[in-house]
């Protein structure tokens, strides 16, 4: 489970001026990964269903 979580949570070594900047960068990358994964699932579902 830890390995899967590491795929979606960014472990950047970049230092941010504010702590909120790091949280936003990590959550934004996770959000984008979720959108991409959801699109792949829905596209494959509709491709298999409507053929």
* Tens of each residue's pLDDT in the chain, 51 residues: 566 666 666 666 666 666 666 677 778 888 888 999 999 999 999 888 876
String of b and e for 4-40 (b: at least 16 CB within 10 Å)?
eeeeeeeeeeeeeeeeeeeeeeeeeeeeeeeeeeeee
At residue 25, the pLDDT reads 73
At residue 35, the pLDDT reads 94
- Contact criterion met (CB below 8 Å) for 12 and 26: yes
**pTM for the model:** 0.52
- The ranges assigned to domains in the chain are 19-51
The CA-based angle 47-49-51, given to 5 degrees, is: 65
Distance CA 42, CA 30 (A): 18
């Amino acid at each position: 489970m830890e390995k899967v979580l590491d795929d979606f949570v960014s472990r950047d070594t970049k230092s941010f001026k504010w702590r909120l900047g790091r949280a936003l960068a990590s959550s934004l990358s996770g959000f984008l990964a979720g959108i991409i994964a959801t699109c792949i699932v829905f596209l494959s579902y509709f491709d298999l269903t409507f053929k």
